[in-house]
Structure 1
Amino acid sequence: MGVSGCGKSTVGEELADKLSIPFMEGDKLHPASNVEKMAAGMPLTDDDRWPWLDLVGAQLHKGFEAGGIVISCSALKKSYRERLRDACGGPLAFVYLEGSEALLTERMGARTGHFMPLSLLKTQLATLEVPTSEPSVVTVSIDATPDEITENALKGLSAL
Protein backbone atom coordinates (compact mmCIF):
# COMPACT_ATOMS: atom_id res chain seq x y z
CA MET A 1 0.00 0.00 0.00
CA GLY A 2 0.99 3.59 -0.52
CA VAL A 3 0.62 6.52 -2.86
CA SER A 4 0.96 6.33 -6.60
CA GLY A 5 4.49 5.76 -7.83
CA CYS A 6 5.73 3.97 -4.71
CA GLY A 7 6.08 0.61 -6.48
CA LYS A 8 3.00 -1.27 -5.30
CA SER A 9 2.67 -3.29 -8.50
CA THR A 10 6.34 -4.11 -8.93
CA VAL A 11 6.88 -5.07 -5.30
CA GLY A 12 3.52 -6.82 -5.07
CA GLU A 13 4.33 -9.03 -8.05
CA GLU A 14 7.73 -9.91 -6.59
CA LEU A 15 6.27 -10.61 -3.14
CA ALA A 16 3.60 -12.86 -4.59
CA ASP A 17 6.21 -14.71 -6.63
CA LYS A 18 8.46 -15.26 -3.61
CA LEU A 19 5.48 -16.34 -1.47
CA SER A 20 4.11 -18.58 -4.26
CA ILE A 21 0.67 -16.99 -4.12
CA PRO A 22 -1.30 -15.03 -6.73
CA PHE A 23 -0.92 -11.30 -7.34
CA MET A 24 -3.76 -8.98 -8.28
CA GLU A 25 -3.40 -5.41 -9.50
CA GLY A 26 -5.89 -3.45 -7.41
CA ASP A 27 -6.10 -0.63 -9.94
CA LYS A 28 -7.77 -3.04 -12.37
CA LEU A 29 -10.72 -3.25 -9.97
CA HIS A 30 -11.45 0.48 -10.27
CA PRO A 31 -14.66 1.24 -12.14
CA ALA A 32 -14.10 3.06 -15.43
CA SER A 33 -15.54 6.24 -13.90
CA ASN A 34 -12.76 6.30 -11.27
CA VAL A 35 -10.04 5.77 -13.87
CA GLU A 36 -11.50 8.51 -16.08
CA LYS A 37 -11.70 10.89 -13.13
CA MET A 38 -8.09 10.27 -12.09
CA ALA A 39 -6.85 10.45 -15.69
CA ALA A 40 -8.50 13.87 -15.92
CA GLY A 41 -6.51 14.98 -12.86
CA MET A 42 -9.42 14.90 -10.41
CA PRO A 43 -8.83 13.22 -7.05
CA LEU A 44 -11.20 10.50 -5.92
CA THR A 45 -13.55 11.10 -3.01
CA ASP A 46 -14.39 8.58 -0.31
CA ASP A 47 -17.67 7.94 -2.13
CA ASP A 48 -15.68 7.08 -5.28
CA ARG A 49 -13.39 4.76 -3.34
CA TRP A 50 -15.87 2.72 -1.22
CA PRO A 51 -17.21 0.52 -4.06
CA TRP A 52 -13.64 -0.08 -5.28
CA LEU A 53 -12.45 -0.96 -1.78
CA ASP A 54 -15.37 -3.38 -1.46
CA LEU A 55 -14.17 -5.13 -4.64
CA VAL A 56 -10.62 -5.27 -3.28
CA GLY A 57 -11.98 -6.63 0.00
CA ALA A 58 -13.95 -9.32 -1.81
CA GLN A 59 -10.79 -10.40 -3.63
CA LEU A 60 -8.85 -10.44 -0.35
CA HIS A 61 -11.53 -12.70 1.12
CA LYS A 62 -11.38 -15.07 -1.87
CA GLY A 63 -7.60 -15.05 -1.69
CA PHE A 64 -7.59 -15.77 2.03
CA GLU A 65 -9.92 -18.73 1.50
CA ALA A 66 -7.68 -20.01 -1.30
CA GLY A 67 -4.48 -19.83 0.76
CA GLY A 68 -3.24 -16.29 0.21
CA ILE A 69 -3.04 -13.40 -2.21
CA VAL A 70 -1.11 -10.17 -2.66
CA ILE A 71 -3.16 -7.21 -3.89
CA SER A 72 -1.76 -3.79 -4.70
CA CYS A 73 -4.00 -1.09 -3.25
CA SER A 74 -3.32 2.49 -2.17
CA ALA A 75 -5.36 2.07 1.07
CA LEU A 76 -4.48 5.65 1.96
CA LYS A 77 -6.71 6.10 5.01
CA LYS A 78 -7.04 4.10 8.19
CA SER A 79 -10.78 3.72 7.50
CA TYR A 80 -9.95 2.13 4.12
CA ARG A 81 -7.54 -0.31 5.73
CA GLU A 82 -10.09 -1.16 8.43
CA ARG A 83 -12.69 -1.86 5.73
CA LEU A 84 -10.23 -4.21 4.01
CA ARG A 85 -9.35 -5.91 7.31
CA ASP A 86 -13.06 -6.50 7.98
CA ALA A 87 -13.65 -7.88 4.47
CA CYS A 88 -10.67 -10.23 4.42
CA GLY A 89 -12.05 -12.80 6.82
CA GLY A 90 -8.66 -13.64 8.23
CA PRO A 91 -5.27 -12.13 9.01
CA LEU A 92 -4.26 -9.29 6.72
CA ALA A 93 -0.90 -7.56 6.63
CA PHE A 94 -0.08 -4.31 4.86
CA VAL A 95 3.30 -3.46 3.40
CA TYR A 96 3.50 0.33 3.44
CA LEU A 97 5.90 1.54 0.76
CA GLU A 98 7.24 4.82 2.10
CA GLY A 99 9.14 7.41 0.12
CA SER A 100 9.86 11.10 -0.04
CA GLU A 101 7.80 13.38 -2.24
CA ALA A 102 10.92 14.09 -4.31
CA LEU A 103 11.55 10.38 -4.99
CA LEU A 104 7.87 9.71 -5.74
CA THR A 105 7.78 12.69 -8.12
CA GLU A 106 10.87 11.40 -9.91
CA ARG A 107 9.38 7.92 -10.28
CA MET A 108 5.96 9.11 -11.43
CA GLY A 109 7.56 11.51 -13.90
CA ALA A 110 9.59 8.70 -15.44
CA ARG A 111 6.80 6.17 -15.95
CA THR A 112 4.69 5.92 -19.05
CA GLY A 113 1.32 4.43 -19.87
CA HIS A 114 -0.28 4.88 -16.45
CA PHE A 115 -3.58 6.72 -16.01
CA MET A 116 -2.55 8.50 -12.80
CA PRO A 117 -1.05 11.91 -13.55
CA LEU A 118 1.78 13.38 -11.49
CA SER A 119 -0.55 16.25 -10.55
CA LEU A 120 -2.48 13.93 -8.18
CA LEU A 121 0.55 12.99 -6.08
CA LYS A 122 0.13 15.98 -3.77
CA THR A 123 -3.53 15.12 -3.11
CA GLN A 124 -2.62 11.50 -2.39
CA LEU A 125 0.09 12.59 0.03
CA ALA A 126 -2.40 14.94 1.72
CA THR A 127 -4.93 12.09 2.02
CA LEU A 128 -2.40 9.54 3.29
CA GLU A 129 -2.81 8.55 6.93
CA VAL A 130 0.53 6.90 7.67
CA PRO A 131 -0.17 3.41 9.08
CA THR A 132 2.98 2.85 11.09
CA SER A 133 1.12 2.69 14.44
CA GLU A 134 -1.41 0.11 13.18
CA PRO A 135 -1.14 -3.64 13.78
CA SER A 136 0.21 -5.92 11.05
CA VAL A 137 1.87 -3.13 9.07
CA VAL A 138 5.38 -3.42 7.69
CA THR A 139 6.93 -0.11 6.64
CA VAL A 140 9.56 -0.33 3.91
CA SER A 141 11.55 2.52 2.39
CA ILE A 142 11.35 2.69 -1.39
CA ASP A 143 14.80 4.28 -1.63
CA ALA A 144 16.29 0.98 -2.81
CA THR A 145 16.09 -1.46 -5.72
CA PRO A 146 12.86 -3.44 -6.22
CA ASP A 147 14.67 -6.61 -5.09
CA GLU A 148 15.91 -4.92 -1.90
CA ILE A 149 12.45 -3.47 -1.19
CA THR A 150 10.90 -6.90 -1.65
CA GLU A 151 13.48 -8.56 0.62
CA ASN A 152 12.89 -5.91 3.30
CA ALA A 153 9.13 -6.46 3.01
CA LEU A 154 9.57 -10.22 3.37
CA LYS A 155 11.77 -9.76 6.45
CA GLY A 156 9.16 -7.50 7.99
CA LEU A 157 6.31 -9.85 7.17
CA SER A 158 8.13 -12.84 8.63
CA ALA A 159 8.62 -10.88 11.86
CA LEU A 160 4.86 -10.29 12.27
Structure 2
Amino acid sequence: MSKKTARYDVSGTQRVLVVMGVAGTGKTTVGRLLADALGLPYVEGDAFHPAANVAKMSAGIPLDDADRWPWLDAIGARLRARPAGQGAVLASSALKRAYRDRLRSAAPDAVFVHLSGDRALIERRMAERTGHFMPAALLDSQFAALEPLQRDEAGVVVDVSGSPEEITERALAALSALPGAGPHTAPSRES
Protein backbone atom coordinates (compact mmCIF):
# COMPACT_ATOMS: atom_id res chain seq x y z
CA MET A 1 0.00 0.00 0.00
CA SER A 2 1.24 3.46 -0.73
CA LYS A 3 2.04 5.74 2.15
CA LYS A 4 -0.44 8.32 0.89
CA THR A 5 -3.47 6.03 0.90
CA ALA A 6 -2.36 4.15 4.01
CA ARG A 7 -2.83 7.39 5.96
CA TYR A 8 -6.55 7.46 5.24
CA ASP A 9 -8.38 8.91 8.20
CA VAL A 10 -12.09 9.48 8.51
CA SER A 11 -12.42 13.00 9.91
CA GLY A 12 -9.84 12.65 12.66
CA THR A 13 -11.49 9.83 14.59
CA GLN A 14 -11.28 6.14 13.97
CA ARG A 15 -14.51 4.86 12.53
CA VAL A 16 -15.85 1.45 11.72
CA LEU A 17 -15.43 0.56 8.06
CA VAL A 18 -17.94 -2.06 6.95
CA VAL A 19 -16.75 -3.96 3.87
CA MET A 20 -20.03 -5.10 2.33
CA GLY A 21 -21.35 -6.86 -0.75
CA VAL A 22 -22.62 -10.14 -2.06
CA ALA A 23 -20.74 -13.37 -1.42
CA GLY A 24 -17.56 -13.77 -3.43
CA THR A 25 -16.66 -10.09 -3.79
CA GLY A 26 -13.62 -10.40 -1.53
CA LYS A 27 -14.95 -8.89 1.70
CA THR A 28 -12.66 -10.95 3.92
CA THR A 29 -9.52 -10.51 1.84
CA VAL A 30 -10.01 -6.80 1.17
CA GLY A 31 -11.21 -6.22 4.73
CA ARG A 32 -8.01 -7.73 6.14
CA LEU A 33 -5.88 -5.69 3.73
CA LEU A 34 -7.72 -2.49 4.70
CA ALA A 35 -7.31 -3.28 8.40
CA ASP A 36 -3.58 -3.87 7.91
CA ALA A 37 -3.15 -0.68 5.86
CA LEU A 38 -5.00 1.39 8.44
CA GLY A 39 -3.71 -0.28 11.59
CA LEU A 40 -7.22 -1.20 12.70
CA PRO A 41 -8.54 -4.44 14.17
CA TYR A 42 -10.35 -6.74 11.74
CA VAL A 43 -13.74 -8.27 12.58
CA GLU A 44 -15.00 -11.20 10.47
CA GLY A 45 -18.78 -11.00 10.35
CA ASP A 46 -19.15 -14.63 9.27
CA ALA A 47 -17.69 -15.69 12.64
CA PHE A 48 -20.86 -14.40 14.34
CA HIS A 49 -23.29 -16.60 12.40
CA PRO A 50 -24.96 -19.15 14.66
CA ALA A 51 -24.48 -22.79 13.65
CA ALA A 52 -28.07 -22.93 12.35
CA ASN A 53 -27.34 -20.14 9.85
CA VAL A 54 -24.17 -21.84 8.62
CA ALA A 55 -26.03 -25.16 8.24
CA LYS A 56 -28.83 -23.46 6.33
CA MET A 57 -26.47 -21.71 3.91
CA SER A 58 -24.33 -24.84 3.52
CA ALA A 59 -27.50 -26.65 2.43
CA GLY A 60 -28.11 -23.99 -0.23
CA ILE A 61 -30.98 -22.32 1.64
CA PRO A 62 -30.85 -18.50 1.71
CA LEU A 63 -31.15 -16.76 5.06
CA ASP A 64 -34.20 -14.64 5.74
CA ASP A 65 -34.49 -11.57 7.94
CA ALA A 66 -35.38 -13.67 10.99
CA ASP A 67 -32.09 -15.54 10.55
CA ARG A 68 -30.09 -12.36 10.10
CA TRP A 69 -31.31 -10.23 13.04
CA PRO A 70 -29.56 -12.28 15.79
CA TRP A 71 -26.41 -12.41 13.64
CA LEU A 72 -26.41 -8.64 13.15
CA ASP A 73 -27.09 -8.12 16.85
CA ALA A 74 -24.09 -10.31 17.74
CA ILE A 75 -21.90 -8.23 15.42
CA GLY A 76 -23.36 -5.09 16.97
CA ALA A 77 -22.46 -6.31 20.46
CA ARG A 78 -18.86 -6.85 19.30
CA LEU A 79 -18.74 -3.34 17.82
CA ARG A 80 -20.16 -1.82 21.01
CA ALA A 81 -17.47 -3.63 23.03
CA ARG A 82 -14.69 -1.70 21.25
CA PRO A 83 -12.69 0.70 23.38
CA ALA A 84 -13.98 4.25 23.00
CA GLY A 85 -12.59 5.92 19.91
CA GLN A 86 -11.18 2.73 18.42
CA GLY A 87 -12.09 2.00 14.83
CA ALA A 88 -12.36 -1.38 13.18
CA VAL A 89 -12.80 -2.98 9.79
CA LEU A 90 -15.79 -5.32 9.63
CA ALA A 91 -16.55 -7.72 6.78
CA SER A 92 -20.31 -8.25 6.55
CA SER A 93 -22.66 -8.66 3.60
CA ALA A 94 -24.91 -5.82 4.88
CA LEU A 95 -27.04 -6.35 1.77
CA LYS A 96 -30.14 -4.42 2.83
CA ARG A 97 -30.54 -0.90 4.14
CA ALA A 98 -32.25 -2.33 7.23
CA TYR A 99 -29.17 -4.48 7.95
CA ARG A 100 -26.88 -1.48 7.56
CA ASP A 101 -29.16 0.53 9.85
CA ARG A 102 -28.88 -2.26 12.43
CA LEU A 103 -25.08 -2.11 12.22
CA ARG A 104 -25.18 1.70 12.41
CA SER A 105 -27.14 1.43 15.66
CA ALA A 106 -23.97 -0.12 17.13
CA ALA A 107 -21.52 2.10 15.23
CA PRO A 108 -23.33 5.33 14.24
CA ASP A 109 -20.33 6.71 12.36
CA ALA A 110 -19.82 3.57 10.23
CA VAL A 111 -18.63 4.05 6.66
CA PHE A 112 -19.58 1.36 4.14
CA VAL A 113 -17.23 0.04 1.46
CA HIS A 114 -19.51 -1.70 -1.04
CA LEU A 115 -17.52 -4.19 -3.10
CA SER A 116 -19.37 -4.49 -6.39
CA GLY A 117 -18.72 -6.30 -9.62
CA ASP A 118 -19.81 -8.32 -12.58
CA ARG A 119 -21.89 -11.36 -11.64
CA ALA A 120 -19.84 -13.69 -13.88
CA LEU A 121 -16.59 -12.59 -12.21
CA ILE A 122 -18.02 -13.06 -8.73
CA GLU A 123 -19.47 -16.48 -9.61
CA ARG A 124 -16.09 -17.56 -10.99
CA ARG A 125 -14.35 -16.44 -7.79
CA MET A 126 -16.88 -18.32 -5.67
CA ALA A 127 -16.32 -21.48 -7.70
CA GLU A 128 -12.55 -21.19 -7.15
CA ARG A 129 -12.61 -20.70 -3.39
CA THR A 130 -12.43 -23.59 -0.96
CA GLY A 131 -13.49 -24.09 2.62
CA HIS A 132 -16.37 -21.60 2.70
CA PHE A 133 -19.92 -22.55 3.68
CA MET A 134 -21.60 -20.23 1.16
CA PRO A 135 -22.28 -22.09 -2.11
CA ALA A 136 -22.34 -20.32 -5.48
CA ALA A 137 -25.96 -21.50 -5.78
CA LEU A 138 -26.95 -18.74 -3.32
CA LEU A 139 -25.45 -15.92 -5.38
CA ASP A 140 -28.75 -15.14 -7.12
CA SER A 141 -30.48 -14.73 -3.74
CA GLN A 142 -27.70 -12.38 -2.64
CA PHE A 143 -28.08 -10.18 -5.72
CA ALA A 144 -31.88 -10.22 -5.29
CA ALA A 145 -31.57 -9.01 -1.69
CA LEU A 146 -28.91 -6.36 -2.40
CA GLU A 147 -30.05 -2.77 -1.86
CA PRO A 148 -27.41 -0.28 -3.07
CA LEU A 149 -26.09 2.38 -0.73
CA GLN A 150 -28.43 5.36 -0.60
CA ARG A 151 -27.48 9.04 -0.78
CA ASP A 152 -27.75 9.48 2.98
CA GLU A 153 -25.42 6.55 3.76
CA ALA A 154 -21.73 7.29 4.25
CA GLY A 155 -19.87 5.02 1.92
CA VAL A 156 -18.14 4.23 -1.34
CA VAL A 157 -18.73 1.71 -4.12
CA VAL A 158 -15.58 -0.07 -5.27
CA ASP A 159 -15.22 -2.24 -8.37
CA VAL A 160 -13.83 -5.71 -7.59
CA SER A 161 -12.02 -6.36 -10.86
CA GLY A 162 -8.30 -6.81 -10.37
CA SER A 163 -6.17 -8.15 -7.56
CA PRO A 164 -7.09 -7.79 -3.88
CA GLU A 165 -4.30 -5.22 -3.56
CA GLU A 166 -5.68 -3.17 -6.47
CA ILE A 167 -9.18 -3.32 -5.00
CA THR A 168 -7.82 -2.22 -1.62
CA GLU A 169 -5.95 0.71 -3.19
CA ARG A 170 -9.16 1.79 -4.97
CA ALA A 171 -11.06 1.55 -1.69
CA LEU A 172 -8.47 3.63 0.15
CA ALA A 173 -8.44 6.25 -2.61
CA ALA A 174 -12.24 6.44 -2.64
CA LEU A 175 -12.40 6.69 1.14
CA SER A 176 -9.78 9.44 1.13
CA ALA A 177 -11.90 11.42 -1.34
CA LEU A 178 -15.14 10.94 0.60
CA PRO A 179 -16.43 14.43 1.43
CA GLY A 180 -19.24 13.29 3.70
CA ALA A 181 -22.37 11.18 3.66
CA GLY A 182 -23.46 9.52 0.44
CA PRO A 183 -22.00 6.83 -1.76
CA HIS A 184 -19.26 7.70 -4.21
CA THR A 185 -18.10 5.32 -6.89
CA ALA A 186 -14.38 4.62 -7.07
CA PRO A 187 -12.87 4.49 -10.54
CA SER A 188 -12.75 1.03 -12.06
CA ARG A 189 -9.53 -0.67 -13.00
CA GLU A 190 -9.97 0.49 -16.59
CA SER A 191 -10.26 4.19 -15.61
Tell me if both proteins adopt one fold, taking TM over 0.5 as the criterion: yes
Alpha-carbon distance in 1 for matches of 2:73, 2:174: 27
Q: TM-score, normalised by structure 2?
A: 0.80
Matched, 1:148 2:166: yes
CA distance in 1, matches of 2:33, 2:65: 29
Distance in 2 separating the partners of 1:132 and 1:108:
27
Q: Which residue of 2 aligns with 1:130?
A: 148
- Give yes or no for the alignment of 1:119 onto 2:119: no
One-letter amino acid matched to 2:164: P
Task: Give the % identical residues.
Answer: 53
Distance 1:140 1:65 in 2: 29
Q: Are 2:119 and 1:63 equivalent residues in the alignment?
A: no
1:40 to 28, 46, 59: 59
- What is the Cα deviation at residue 63 of structure 1? 3.3
Superposition deviation, residue 64 in structure 1: 6.4
Q: What's the CA shift for 1:128? A: 0.4
C-alpha deviation, 1:66, in angstroms: 5.2
Q: Unaligned stretches of 5+ in structure 1?
A: none
Q: CA RMSD in A?
A: 1.3
More helix by share: 1
* Ranges in structure 2 where 5+ consecutive residues have no aligned partner: 1-19, 179-191
Find the aligned partners of 2:71 and 2:37 in 1 and give their Cα distance: 27
- Supply the distance in 2 between the matched residues of 1:92 and 1:69 (Cα, whole angstroms): 9
CA distance 1:64–1:92, shift in 2 (3 Å)? farther
Separation in structure 1 between the aligned mates of residue 84 and residue 106 of structure 2, nearest angstrom: 12
CA distance 1:147–1:32, shift in 2 (3 Å): same
Say if 2:19 is the partner of 1:19.
no
Give the structure with higher Rg (CA): 2
Three-state SS of the structure 2 residue aligned to 1:15 is helix
In terms of fraction of residues, the more strand-rich structure is 2
Instruction: Tell me whether 1:100 sits opposite 2:118 in the alignment.
Output: yes
d(CA) in 2 for partners of 1:95, 1:47: 25
Residues matched between the structures, number? 159
For residues 64-95 of structure 1, give each alpha carbon's deviation from its aligned partner in whole angstroms, at most 9, with x where no partner exists: 6251111100000001001111121x411010
Letter of the 1:96 partner, please give it: H
